[in-house]
Amino acid sequence: MHYTFDFGWLLEYWPVLLKGIGITVELTLVGGVLGVSLGVACAWARALGPGWLRPIVTAYVEMIRNTPFLIQLFFIFFGLPALGIRMNELEAANLAMVINLGAYGCEIIRAGIQATPKGQFEAGASLGMSRIQTFWHVILIPALQRIWPALSSQIVIVMLGSAAVSQIAAEDLTFAANFIQSRTFRAFEAYFVTTLIYLALAVLLRQLLRGVGWTIFPRRGAASRAR
Amino acid sequence: MSLIEITEVKKRFGDNEVLKGINIDVEPGEVIAIIGKSGSGKSTLLRCINGLETIDDGSISVAGAQLLPDEIHLKALRLKVGMIFQQFNLFPHLTAGRNVMLSQMVVKKTPRGEAEAMAKKMLERVGLGHKFDAYPDELSGGQQQRVAIARALAMQPIALLCDEITSALDPELVNEVLAVVKELASEGMTLLMVTHEMRFARDVCSRVVFMHQGRVHEIGPPGEVFAEPRTPELKQFLGML
Ligand SMILES: Nc1ncnc2c1ncn2[C@@H]1O[C@H](COP(=O)(O)OP(=O)(O)OP(=O)(O)O)[C@@H](O)[C@H]1O
Ligand SMILES: [Mg+2]
């Protein structure tokens, strides 16, 4: 073992890393917000939606949850152009992440909805609210509160999984690491630094999600205690 | 014409016929107690009147409007008839005030300021003006139930349905809720309440309905029903046999 560690390249390549971090963060934020929104819509459809919609959503969810993310990404980026649907790497990466988180989020959020006491739906109905109004104003927030830790973990998983988008040359953090490694031949150092950055991003993301929870769920534990 | 007309109402769950032809006419301002054994169909009847269950046969009309199972008719009906549940069913993520404001704003499109003023007024009416900003889990059961009453009142219903609204409460909290109901009764609110509070039924109600096996077995003023029950079933229920 005569390997001498050399982190000197950091001086030259930190803008590349920074750009990679920026793209990973962007993918995570867009994927997180739109993915959770899609998850909410699909969870509503599966738990409470009209009968004709349920099998369609179920098919989507099962399709995504039983195939690799990388293949979903390749399908969107390399496959869809055959149908005339073209997008650049970033658009494809964003779309793949939204679709992926939408499916996993759907199942998590659905569990939260199904744990809602029946009386909440009946209280909404007896006050004259429509089913959609009851879902939106009464059911959704406590349902999200119940499953927020699981949903937060899933969002972190999707953020880490976004490393795969480097495979279609979306210039995320992993792409930057590969690039630096190929230029400097400093594989250990490049991936070591990248690992630390992902770790930091994951910790920050968890904190952010906890903060979001604190703001949208004013009563901690209330949803589980209320009958 | 009566305020609430329940005519030959039948309701089945599968093979189990729970309501076997119910007839009750309720006049404006009446306070009606519904009593009977567990499983006799009391809750089911109230739930049918509020459209939470669809009826298989017969008809229900409130203030002249027929109960039909589509969203428009249901909404119209539910604006006229409020319902209070045994388990309160407050929305846990909203303060007491917001609980009372929500349906005004969502259903009636009442502007926020007005809804808030109405919520304050209704919470004061049930003696909880000072709890506007409290969350349900910060309130006692009796207080939660009073918020639920305020929430129903804020929709300005012409009648209230109460399904065992004191049964989930500790004994010492029952009276504060009954006092509110008594107050409403004296102000002329039409009330249909399923209750096990026989004293309350005797003191406050204009008529008592005794349900037995899905039928109205006896009906009359509390003086008659409690003092001179005609059927063995009611005598047994009242512990007189
Ligand atoms: N959603 C339902 N599905 C199937 N059966 C039901 C349903 N709701 C009520 N029942 C049945 O209908 C019958 C009457 O129930 P209901 O709740 O109206 O009785 P109740 O008089 O209110 O009794 P309790 O005093 O226990 O509240 C019971 O046999 C019950 O099992
Ligand atoms: Mg009952």
Go through the domains of chain B in sequence order and give each one's CATH number.
Answer: 4-89+157-237 (3.40.50.300)
Measured between beta carbons, the chain B residues lying within 8 angstroms of A146 are none
Instruction: Give the model's confidence band at A226: pLDDT under 50 very low, under 70 low, under 90 confident, else very high.
Output: very low
CB-based contact B151 A117, cutoff 8 Å: no
Mean pLDDT of B137-150: 96
Query: Could you tell me if A143 lies within 8 Å of chain B, comparing CB atoms?
Result: no
Query: Could you tell me if B90 lies within 8 Å of chain A, comparing CB atoms?
Result: yes
Query: Could you tell me if B50 lies within 8 Å of chain A, comparing CB atoms?
Result: yes
Rounded distance from Cα B152 to ligand 1 centre (Å): 24
* A96–chain B nearest CA distance, Å: 33
Measured between beta carbons, the chain B residues lying within 8 angstroms of A128 are 75, 78-79, 103, 107-108, 155
DSSP secondary structure letter of residue A166:
G
Q: What is the pLDDT of residues B74-96, one digit of tens each?
A: 888 899 999 999 999 999 999 99
Q: What is the pLDDT of residue B56?
A: 93
Which tokens in the block code for residue B170? 């500790």
Residues having CB closer than 6 A to ligand 1 are B 13, 16, 18, 36, 38-44
Judge contact between A165 and A28, C-beta under 8 A: no
Mean pLDDT of B145-163: 96
Judge contact between A148 and A217, C-beta under 8 A: yes
Among all chains, which residue has been given the structure tokens 């319902």?
Answer: B83
Q: Which residues pair with B84 in a beta bridge?
A: B162
Short-list A66, A87, A68, A65, CA closest to A76: A87
**Ligand 1 atom closest to B196 (CA):** 25
Rounded distance from Cα A80 to ligand 2 centre (Å): 57
Interface test with A, best of B75, B78, B88, B89 (most A CBs within 10 A): B89
Q: Among all ligands shown, which has an atom nearest to the Cα of B215?
A: 1
Asked if residue A9 has pLDDT above 90, the reply is: no
Q: What is the pLDDT of residue A221?
A: 52
CA–CA dist A49, A129 (Å, integer): 16
- How far apart, in Å, are the Cα atoms of A74 and each of A32, A71, B65? 20, 5, 59
Mean residue pLDDT across chain A: 93
CA–CA dist B36, A118 (Å, integer): 24
Q: What is the pLDDT of residue A223?
A: 44
Rounded distance from Cα B163 to ligand 1 centre (Å): 12
CA–CA dist A174, A146 (Å, integer): 33
Amino acid making up residue A72? Q
Q: What is the pLDDT of residue B66?
A: 84
Q: What is the pLDDT of residues B160-199, one digit of tens each?
A: 999 999 999 999 999 999 999 999 999 999 999 999 999 9
Rounded distance from Cα B34 to ligand 1 centre (Å): 14
Mean pLDDT of A124-139: 96
Q: What is the pLDDT of residue A222?
A: 45
Q: Which residue has the higher pLDDT, A115 or A5?
A: A115
Q: Are strands B16-26 and B81-84 parallel, antiparallel or unpaired?
A: unpaired
CB-based contact B87 A227, cutoff 8 Å: yes
Asked if residue A224 has pLDDT above 50, the reply is: no
Q: What is the pLDDT of residue B1?
A: 77
- Who among B79, B85, B92 is closest to A128 (CB)? B79
Domains and CATH numbers, chain A: 11-226 (1.10.3720.10)
Q: What is the pLDDT of residues B95-122, one digit of tens each?
A: 999 999 999 999 999 999 999 999 999 9
Q: What are phi and psi of A170, to 5 degrees?
A: -75, 130
Mean pLDDT of A64-90: 95
Q: What is the pLDDT of residues B19-48, one digit of tens each?
A: 999 999 999 999 999 999 999 999 999 999
B79: closest chain A residue by CA: A128
CA–CA dist B106, A134 (Å, integer): 9
Asked if residue A183 has pLDDT above 60, the reply is: yes
